[in-house]
Structure 1
Amino acid sequence: MRITRNTSDQLIIANTPWLIGIMLILFILVFIGAGLLVATAEDGDLWFGILFGSLGGGLGIAAFCAFVRRVQIIFDRSTGKISIRRQSVFGYSSADHPLEQLSHVEIEQTTSFRDGRSSTLYRPTLILAAGSSAANSKTRIPIVAAYTNGAGPNRIATAVNSWLPAKDLI
């Protein structure tokens, strides 16, 4: 994820997985092209070429549908909302939350153990204070579904948490 806008009125964080999308499209084209070449070759096997292209292309399409998702989070002081927009091959969804309920952003972590070694992964999560009816209740909304071991989650949390105090100055 990267910060696409950071002004006093608006903070926009977006993730568009261009590299993964392009790589998967190339994967699909290579398998379908190779299958067509085998199927149409003079001494090639028609059914093997069709099966090869269909299975390889189908796996690429399935991976594209599973992994290529656009996420955009807009923190907007002028409207007083946090908008979380997600788009995939299957559709578009948007959820709005009141900006005044945003307490801060935390980093969630998960640790896995394999072959005697541990690996810790992180993701940024919005912490919303519930309305006045449940004074101590908090809602956790992960910004992204996947955990990562890069510096991105910390960078996002730092940007949002440093942007938040500015709302008291306006």
Structure 2
Amino acid sequence: MRIIRDTPEQLIVANRPWLIGSMLILFILVFVGAGFLVASGEEGDLWFGLLFGGLGGGLGAVAFCVFVRRVQVIFDRSEGKITIRRQSVFGYSSNTHPLADLSHVEVEETTSNQNGHRSTLYRATLVLDSNTSAIGRSPTRVPIVAAYVSGPGAKRLAQRINTWLPASNHI
């Protein structure tokens, strides 16, 4: 995720998956183009070419629909709210939470062990304390993005948001 705006009044972070979206579109075009090229060749290759282009292009389209999701999170002091906007091929959603309920941002981890190789993935998660007033209720955790990623990006994002938060007491 990238920081789009960082002012004392507003912090905006966004994830725009341009690279994976572009790669999947190229994948679709290559398979559909190759399928049509094969289908336009010899007479016996018509069905194979259509099947090749249809399956390859279809798998690429499904992957595009599943993996390409835009996320924007707006932390706004003037309005006192957090807005999480998500957009995919299937539609747009927007959720809001009071900024005062945000305790901090933490990093969730998941570890997998495949073939003796251990890898750890991370994601930044908002910790909302609005439900902690009731006895026995724990804070609500809202992941900023659904997917876990490798590298230090989630830790840097959580650190930056946590640094921005205390300044809300000064305005």
* TM-score class normalised by the smaller sequence: over 0.9
TM-score by length of 2: 0.94
SS of structure 1 residue aligned to 2:63: helix
Distance of 1:100 and 1:83 partners within structure 2: 13
- 1:48 and 2:53 are equivalent in the alignment: no
- Unmatched runs of 5 consecutive residues or more in structure 2: none
Note the 1:8-157 alignment, pairs <5 A. 8-42=8-42, 45-131=45-131, 133-134=133-134, 137-157=138-158
Aligned length: 170
Q: Any idea what SS the aligned residue of 1:167 has?
A: helix
Cα deviations by residue, 1:141-163 (Å, 9 ceiling, x for unpaired) = 01111111111101110110000
Q: Distance in 1 between matches of 2:114 and 2:152?
A: 22
Structure 1 runs not aligned, ≥5 long: none
SS for the counterpart of 2:97 is strand
Structure 1, 78-87 or 135-144: larger mean CA deviation = 135-144
Confirm or deny: 8 A CA contact 2:132 2:139 kept in the other structure.
no
Q: For the Cα contact (< 8 Å) 2:108–2:125, is it kept in 1? A: yes
- Pairwise CA RMSD of aligned residues? 1.4
Moved over 3 A (4+): none
Quote the Cα distance in structure 1 between the aligned partners of 2:41 and 2:109.
52
TM-score (norm 1): 0.95
Report deviation, 1:87: 0.3
Percent identity over the alignment is: 68
Cα distance change of structure 1 residues 132 and 118 upon mapping to structure 2, 3 Å threshold? closer
